[in-house]
A and B are shown apart, each in its own frame.
Chain A
């Protein structure tokens, strides 16, 4: 049972504030991913929890007890580093046993614990090797083993698979997930890779410039992004963002993107939900899968011209010219044959997001 709570954390590097009033409650056994670009404060937050970085304001509570004044060694948490940090002068066994050597555990028990962890991580046959003889994936397994062996209150992972190549990263991602399901420990995981975040997290914490942008389940941050930053940061291919104007038409609302000559048809109830945001200061966000494309004309579809087509194997990303704005649509592979082809396009109102342009905040409109 380990809960971690961050209350009003602030951190300065010199005159630069890198974490602004950060509040977060992490439940027992929860897998939390801190997601953001480099320099957003996610790693600093993690290191503060670990005790490797001091904080200037706020409280870090582990199981209700403030630990911000405790040394890293006294917090009983384990950390996996991006660089793996395996000690080259020790064997794999000694590396995994290292945290136990700091305790009064007998060597028999150490041996037993190490072998148990090695079995779970499938590194038993590597125990006598030196880290330099291991592959990247095995190094990371050993590093995770070193973190698990002590049965710490919580696991902290700082981009643990960021240094691996793409295929291995996918493998290790699945492995970390499997381990978490099996072992179950409160985990804070830092990454800049939104796919990692989506696939691993119980909840994702999206950070930008030292502020938390949104906290939510992968589905929440994907389907209900709190602001423009989250909308564009989560999801691949990236969400289309465009200035939009809304007009009242008989029995419908018309949403015009940029300087397009005509508007897309939306249900009339959009107008009341927008609450006066209908003219100016409104931004439409629509994911490429919400941009519907067909060859022949149909009611509500607008004729447009395809500009660039990116084939991505299972699907294509097609850039469509709507006025001077480009809307990226996701289509079946080969659906649009080439640039310049005329197609018809519509925006799926149910997948549309509306944001206040000035603040970037979502208006929370769902149709």
Chain B
């Protein structure tokens, strides 16, 4: 059908597009700032006015991944010539890379990054998995005190989690869960579960129960019906819930700061700790932050089709 538009509609449309563009620019500005700083030469990072055009370099990333010390005297030209390109960039900055024998000593960043990945992925899988099963139960069966139970589950979100940080810390120390992956995972699952249950319940309620009933009559058990019919139908909801849970766990700062310091420390409390002493090396911090943003961006990008609803609709008559 050809839509005939009046001039005022066209004007409104243009204004709306302009508003969305402006908003997008505002939201993207900090990300651009971080991304550009991550590729800047050190001395341009804090230049006023900010440099927009510069020759990008990956030296901040080299610094991010290596342990370095300041050099007292200039490097031996022969050593410099023999060094690989990335090591030369470090020498150029008046530093040298620490080594044990021939092996380069890595900074703590890869470790912290892995910790973040482990904690976020496992806690997301657990929170979404448990949430999906729980939501299915609430959606399909008569449960005594259903409304009260759901309210109770929601009530765990009614105060900021940090309020319980100190008691949690003491309890964790008592049972030896502090500075452990499993400790953080339990915490993040606990935060995300109520959200996951409520969100998944909404999606489950939308899946007609005739789907499962048809499967039950066709010779399947309820468990089989759940896995063959309900889960594929709930894929959209599971993807959306997983994205939110992952972002929450990935970005969590306060508990990670309090509960972990060495073994299980995640990236969010680690990155600012590098600002610490002396003149902050903004380019290296920006490089760390930039890399930290990538997993969430990639994860969301991969699930984008599921986030767009409507794929599974239209095959049942209501």
Contacts and interface: CB of A to CB of B under 8 A. Distances in A.
A99 B217 CA distance: 9
B219 A103 contact: yes
25 contacts: A50-B213, A50-B217, A51-B216, A51-B217, A52-B217, A72-B217, A73-B219, A73-B220, A73-B221, A78-B218, A81-B210, A81-B213, A82-B317, A83-B208, A83-B318, A87-B229, A88-B233, A98-B215, A102-B220, A102-B224, A103-B219, A132-B314, A136-B317, A146-B214, A163-B317
Interface string A329-352: 000000000000000000000000
A99 B219 contact: yes
A102 B317 contact: no
A89 B217 contact: no
B221 A85 contact: no
Contacts of B220: 73, 102
B187 to A, nearest CB: 35
Interface string A47-77: 0001110000000000000000001110111
A72 B216 CA distance: 6
Contacts of A89: 232-233, 235, 312
A287 interface: no
Q: Chain B: interface residue count, which band?
A: 20 to 34
B141 interface: no
B314 A73 contact: no
Contact of A150 (B215, B218, B315): B218
A79 interface: yes
A85 B211 contact: yes
A131 B315 contact: yes
Nearest to A163: B317
A98 B315 contact: no
A282 interface: no
A132 B315 CA distance: 5
B313 interface: yes
Interface string B192-235: 00000000000000001011011111111100100001001101
Given A79-B214, A102-B224, A84 B219 contact: no
A85 B213 contact: yes
B308 interface: no
Contacts of B215: 98
Interface string A161-188: 0010000000000000000000000000
Interface of B: 208, 210-211, 213-221, 224, 229, 232-233, 235, 312-318
Contacts of B316: 83-86, 88
A71 B317 contact: no
A78 B313 CA distance: 25
B262 to A, nearest CB: 46
A286 to B, nearest CB: 39
A277 interface: no
A132 B233 CA distance: 14
Nearest to A143: B214
Contacts of A84: 315-317
Contacts of B313: 88, 132
Interface residues of A, number: 33
Contacts of B218: 73, 78, 98-99, 102, 146, 150
Interchain residue pairs A-B with the least CB separation, the first 9:
A102-B219, A99-B218, A88-B315, A131-B315, A163-B317, A85-B210, A85-B214, A72-B216, A132-B314
A98 B218 CA distance: 8
Contact of B314 (A87, A88, A156): A88
B315 A130 contact: yes
A50 B218 CA distance: 10
Interface string A83-107: 1111111000000001100110000
Contact of A52 (B216, B224, B318): B216
Given A71-B216, A85-B211, 4 more contacts: A51-B216, A78-B218, A88-B313, A102-B224
Contacts of A81: 210, 213-214
A172 B132 CA distance: 39
A136 B210 CA distance: 17
A77 B216 CA distance: 10
B152 to A, nearest CB: 25
Nearest to A79: B217
Contacts of A79: 213-214, 217
Contacts of B214: 79, 81, 85, 146
A156 B213 CA distance: 13
A73 B219 CA distance: 4
Nearest to A103: B219
B223 to A, nearest CB: 11
A86 B215 CA distance: 10
Contacts of B210: 81, 83, 85
Interface in A98-157: 98-99, 102-103, 130-132, 136, 139, 146, 150, 156
A86 B216 CA distance: 14
A51 B229 CA distance: 19
B16 to A, nearest CB: 30
Nearest to B215: A98
B216 A87 contact: no
A138 to B, nearest CB: 12
Given A81-B210, A102-B224, A86 B315 contact: yes
Nearest to B224: A102
A202 to B, nearest CB: 23
A78 B314 contact: no
Contacts of B233: 87-89
A115 B221 CA distance: 26
A46 to B, nearest CB: 11
Given A82-B317, A83-B210, A102-B224, A88 B312 contact: yes
A12 B55 CA distance: 78
Contact of B213 (A52, A75, A77, A139): A52
A224 to B, nearest CB: 35
A156 B218 CA distance: 12
A181 B214 CA distance: 24
B81 to A, nearest CB: 61
A158 B119 CA distance: 49
